[in-house]
Amino acid sequence: MKPPIHADSRGSIRRKSASIGVHRRFLLSAAFLMSGALRAGVAQPLPRRIVSVSPNVTEILYGIGAFDRVVAVSDYCTYPPAVQNLPRVGGWENSNLEKIAALRPDLVILTDAQAPFLEDKLRDLGIRSVAVPTRSLADIFVSIDEIGRATGTQARAADLARRTRASLDNTRALTRNLPRPSVLFVVDRTPGTLRDMTVAAQGSFLADLIDIAGGRITAAPAKSGYLNVSKDAILTLDPEVIIDLVHWSKGRFAEHPELVWHDLPELRAVREGRLCPLRDEFLPHASQFVADTAKLLAKLIHPEAFGGGTK
């Protein structure tokens, strides 16, 4: 919106009309330029009080050197360790807007998947927000760039993106000429069972990472990047490798994924001992940690490329 233009009083004498006309034209030009600058983000002041409502956003903010301006994070943020000292503002869909507003942020950063739940509400509260994409690997680099621009740390963001790409390229080079086994990547299921399974599908950044790691994702493409699958569907897919993200309890209450998957002994991955349960918290996050994820996946899919012998 253009700033208001305050014209001179109608009581001005005629001999000033020429200068008034010039003055008005100047104001109109200035208003036009200012409006364009605001749309381009040039005139936006650097945010000093940032709220992150997603773990990947918090990780990127740390990676580009803007974490010192973060005043609150989501319930699921675990990195960097300093997040333990910050207020929590809720989960993925249920961010506490009252708590966010009380923190007086000048920027809230969320993911595109969260935008339908939060963006309009934040706008109604007069709080600036930026929603970043998270579906594909390319989206992650867009996110790093956009968060860098929003926080005035473009140079640090460009360096983080460069280092992340270099690490991914190194992993890709190690697996480029190796066989590509089929991989089922389970991102969620009912604890202790093989019910309500969600798997990474073609089009997700996790599928992209499987490709870099020297595997091929078994699940069909999906608009969201993820699919809900049944045990019968998994039997049909019959993957050579199963990667299972384990999100729940550790210690005495933890499940044993190997026992859970023996409910499907016919699967090739189960028969050949290629079941890989993982607990690393950074794995499903669309941040610079995709480089670490790709390397870990490559070690699981192709241990021979890292001196571990062939499975």
Report the distance separating Cα 242 and Cα 77, nearest Å: 26
Q: Report pLDDT for 192.
A: 87
Q: Which amino acid appears at position 191 of this protein?
A: P
Strands (E), the chain: 50-52, 70-72, 107-111, 129-132, 182-188, 197-200, 216-217, 226-229, 241-245, 275-278
162 by Cβ neighbours in 10 Å (0-12 / 13-18 / 19+) ranks as exposed
The low-confidence residues of the chain, meaning pLDDT below 70, are: 1-43, 247-255, 308-311
Q: Which amino acid appears at position 217 of this protein?
A: I
Q: Report pLDDT for 4.
A: 33
Tell me which CATH code domain 180-306 carries. 3.40.50.1980
Q: Which amino acid appears at position 205 of this protein?
A: F
Fold equal for 50-168 and 180-306:
yes
CB 211 within 8 A of CB 217: yes
Strand 70-72 to 50-52 pairing: parallel
* Domain boundaries along the sequence of the chain: 50-168, 180-306
CB 165 within 8 A of CB 139: no
Q: What is the pTM of this model?
A: 0.82
CATH architecture of residue range(s) 50-168: 3-Layer(aba) Sandwich (3.40)
Q: What angle do CA 246, 257, 226 make, to 5 degrees?
A: 50
CA 68 to chain centre: 20
Q: For 75-95, what is each residue's pLDDT tens digit?
A: 999 999 999 999 999 987 889
Q: Torsions phi, psi of 264, nearest 5?
A: -125, 70
User: Both tokens of residue 76?
Assistant: 């699921």
- Three-state secondary structure call for residue 156: helix
